[in-house]
Amino acid sequence: MTPTARKGRRDDGRPIVQEASTREERMAARVAAWRDRWDRQSKRDIDFTSTSSMEVAPIYTPLDLADTDPVEDIGLPGEYPYTRGVYDSMYRTRLWTMRQFAGFATAEETNERYHFLLDHGQTGLSVAFDLPTLMGYDSDHPMSEGEVGVCGVAIDSLADMETLFHGIPLDQVSTSMTINGPAIIFLALYVAVAEEQGTPPDKLRGTLQTDILKEYIAQKEWLFPPEPHLKIIVDMMAWCADNAPKWHPISISGYHIREAGSTAVQELAFTLADGFTYVEEGIRAGLDVDRFAPRLSFFWNAHNDFFEEVAKYRAARRIWARHMKERYGAKEPRSLLMRFHTQTAGCSLTEQQPENNIVRTAVQALAGVMGGTQSLHTNSMDETYALPTEKAVKIALRTQQVIAYESGVANVIDPLGGSYYVEALTNRMEAEAEAYFRQIESLGGVVAGIEEGFFQRELASAASRYQEEIDARRRVIVGVNEFIEQDERLEIPILRIDPRYEREQCDRVKKLRAKRDDAKYQAAMAGLRQAIRDEQNLMQPVLDAVRSYATVGEIVELMRDEYGTWREPSIF
Amino acid sequence: MTEQKIRVLVGKPGLDGHDRGAKVVAAALRDAGMEVVYTGLHQTPEGIVEAALQEDVDVIALSILSGAHMTLLPRVLELMREAGMNDVLLTGGGIISKDDMQALAEMGVGQLFGPGTATGEIVEYIENWVNNRGAKVGTTS
């Protein structure tokens, strides 16, 4: 802190600067008088807490920011510690990327949806895969029955990937792929498709989620034990640094942690702790932190409590910058930037009166924008029933366009910066996250915490508390426990996935196995197995395997065979 | 409430890892005085029915958010019938459309609960079902 910021602080019991101290005293007297008046007013009978059950004061004043240095702690956008934004000019230069997550049925159907979205002004692609793909099973595996193409697109091999991106120039769009366990296979598949289109890896822009730690914590889509997964992630970071410098090999994600029931502070703390773990793994493997850190990116939830969410993004930027600089010795300014994607909270949507979800999503999206997000997905109103219809997705995209072009919020950078409440909340969330970092460290780190069930317990108890508040009507959810409509009739259409897609996809993968060049396939798979045993970087052997039309399921099976599987402790 | 504790198997069939709902419901049933067994993730229908038999449960409650309910729930029901579990309730919840709930009810699956359900409603449903079981045996199939 600078000396000027200490004006009015009485470390030794006497005023340092008479004038400022007087102002502070006058403010304190006013606040005390206000509190007397406030105490005499009746209050509504409800918990005045944030969505994360955090008590908030009825008002915030300059007294709450007495220890905050407006220069060093808040500063300006584009400068350390980046509380106000990662770029100098933010949305005046470029609006956030409007990126709707989409995928269903087969590659052919999803390709059509992508063309529809791009034609309606969407500026980036985001691939949703079905569960068999996410879990590394081919469509014709017994575990895949009933799940093929249902919650995303089914991709079994390079042939499906070629169809998925047909007619979409990969040197011109940026693509986000939400996949974690088999992420390295999908990096290889994307590189291979681009290669066929004549686009080299150094021209590719996009993101793979890859964040396996939050899978153990929240979403539970792992393939192997943590150790080999972390090794593969380091392989991807190293390969991208050398070959695909515009690609984000990992998107460190709080979204799923929040969806699984965490509070905002837990989302913030656990996600950043995961991020620190990847940085430490990279450094441990001998990579220079400034070589891979600029390509790390983040993915946050936007839940109902507007100010809590804005403060969370601001705190995340400041914490990341401080730790990267002070703890990990990053020197390159781009290594310090917490750049992020935001998605509105699926778990906040209600089945009752689904049209209300449009409004919830708009408020949440506004928080993401006021928090300085780099890209945004808005959920559709019908997602508590099924995957969204085309119309519902269009309304969700239009919501972003209204915020961007009509509301005026994109005109001013960090428009809530300097709000006593938002700054105090930013400070508090940072402090509470730091307390969690110390606790995680005392457990032996994130992986030890996962093995011990620490994160799973924290989430289960926060989720139960949230539900109890709703059940007891101490937290009002419109249409759920207040303003209920009896005999409500569903008046929106629901998307259905025809079961014939599963049969078609199973036939397709069987035919592919029969007609590919078997010698080439066998050689590539043997090469991959050897590379795993030799602990080499796996990116090249995986590329060779996908080019030989090895399926995702076959590659994962080979890797499971070498690395083993993992079961979590069941805690509720 | 019955004299003996109601025994419930809470399960996650299929590949879906979204276990927030299953855990919240499991905790609520336990807090309401039931004996709860949670299977953990990624269970096959066969594994679930086998565990239900071994644990001698009154109720199987399955959570499915992946959209695979029209495959998984009928399969579990079929296996329950093969195993002669005619006095065991199959219920559950997740992202399931009203039409699908209707179709599953016609097959003999109990009530299914969507997002926004109060846990008390589930507790009450299970208690009522178990208390009236004598009258219901054989009528669900």
CA distance A105 to chain B (A): 12
Q: What average pLDDT is seen over chain A?
A: 94
Chain B environment of A137 (Cβ under 8 Å): 15
Q: What is the pLDDT of residue A229?
A: 98
CA distance B119 to chain A (A): 7
Q: What pLDDT shows up at residue A15?
A: 52
Q: Which of A133, A183, A143, A227 is nearest to A565 (CA)?
A: A227
The DSSP-derived string for A451-501 is HHTHHHHHHHHHHHHHHHHHHTTSS--BTTTBS--TT----S------THH
Q: Is B102 on the interface with A (CB under 8 A)?
A: no
Any CB–CB contact under 8 A between B113 and chain A?
no
Tokens of A265: 């502070």
Q: What mean pLDDT do residues A129-145 have?
A: 96
What distance in Å separates residue A455's CA from the closest CA in chain B?
A: 13
For A521-545, letters b (16+ CB in 10 Å) and e give beebbebbbebbeeeebbbbbbbbb
Distance from CA of B134 to the nearest CA of A (A): 30
Positions of E strands within A8-107: 97-98, 101-102
Signed CA dihedral, B34, B39, B41, B46: sign only: negative
What is the predicted ipTM? 0.85
Closest to A162 (Cα-Cα) out of A549, A558, A560, A567: A549
pLDDT digits (tens, 9 = 90+) for A76-125: 999 999 999 999 999 999 999 988 888 888 999 999 989 988 888 777 88
> Which chain B positions have a beta carbon within 8 Å of A351's beta carbon?
114-116
Q: What is the pLDDT of residue A487?
A: 83
Whether B14 and chain A come into contact, CB under 8 Å, resolves to yes
Residue A240 confidence (pLDDT) above 60: yes
Mean pLDDT of A446-460: 96
To the nearest whole angstrom, how far is the Cα of B70 from the nearest Cα of chain A? Answer: 7
Which residues in chain B are contacts of A220 at CB distance < 8 A?
A: 17-19, 41
Distance CA A351, CA B93 (A): 12
pLDDT at res. A406: 98
pLDDT digits (tens, 9 = 90+) for B16-60: 999 999 999 999 999 999 999 999 999 999 999 999 999 999 999
Give the closest residue to A23 by CA, choosing from A62, A53, A60, A55: A62
Tell me: pLDDT of A6 over 50. Answer: no
∠ CA A435-A441-A447 to the nearest 5 degrees?
Answer: 125
| H and E: helices and strands count for chain B | 6, 5
Question: Using one digit for the tens of pLDDT, what is the confidence trace for A382-427?
Answer: 999 888 898 999 999 999 999 999 999 999 999 999 999 999 999 9
**Total count of residues recorded for chain B:** 141
- Sorted by sequence, the CB contacts under 8 Å of residue A113 that are 6+ apart come out as A102, A103, A104, A390
Find chain B residues with C-beta within 8 A of A153's C-beta: none
> Does the pLDDT value for residue A550 go beyond 90?
yes
Cβ contacts of B94 on chain A, cutoff 8 Å: none
Match 């839940």 to its residue by tokens: A303
State residue A342's pLDDT score: 97
Measured CA to CA, the distance from residue B136 to residue A340 in angstroms comes to: 54
Compute the nearest-CA separation of B101 from chain A (Å): 11
Q: Do A147 and B68 touch (CB under 8 A)?
A: yes
Tokens of A437: 């970092």
Q: Give the mean pLDDT of A438-447.
A: 98
Residue A51 gets which letter from DSSP? Answer: T
What residues of A are in contact with residue B10 (Cβ under 8 Å)? 572
Under 8 Å CB-to-CB from A561, ≥6 apart: which residues?
none
Rg (CA), chain A: 25
- Determine, for residues A567 and B40 on separate chains, whether the beta-carbon distance falls below 8 Å: yes
> Using one digit for the tens of pLDDT, what is the confidence trace for A39-75?
999 999 888 999 999 999 999 999 999 999 999 999 9
Q: If you measure CA to CA, which chain A residue comes closest to B115? A: A351
Tokens of A478: 């419109």
The pLDDT value recorded for residue A19 is 54
Tell if the CB–CB gap between B68 and A387 is shorter than 8 Å: no
Contact in structure between A182 and A210 (CB atoms under 8 Å): no
User: Given a cut of 70, is residue A182 above it in pLDDT?
Assistant: yes
Partners of B66 on chain A (C-beta within 8 Å) are 131, 147, 150-151
Residue of chain A whose Cα is closest to the Cα of B70: A146
Please give the Cα distance from A462 to A455 (Å, whole number).
Answer: 11
d(CA A213, CA A114): 30
In the predicted model, is pLDDT for residue A17 greater than 60? no
Could you count the other beta carbons within 10 Å of the beta carbon of residue A29?
10
Q: What is the pLDDT of residues A456-482, one digit of tens each?
A: 999 999 999 999 999 999 999 999 999
| Arithmetic mean of pLDDT over chain B | 91
Average pLDDT over residues A214-243: 97
- A-facing residues of B in 18-57 (CB < 8 A) are 18-20, 22-24, 26-28, 30, 36, 38-42, 44
Which of A257, A357, A467, A473 best probes binding to B when mutated, by most B CB atoms within 10 angstroms?
A: A467
Structure tokens that stand for A276 in this block: 């620190």
Confidence of residue A2 (pLDDT cuts 50, 70, 90): very low
- The whole-number pLDDT of residue A227 equals 96
What is the Cα–Cα distance from A347 to A368, expressed in whole angstroms?
Answer: 16
The answer to whether residue B103 neighbours chain A at the CB level (below 8 Å) is: no
pTM score above 0.90? yes
Percent of chain A with pLDDT over 90: 86
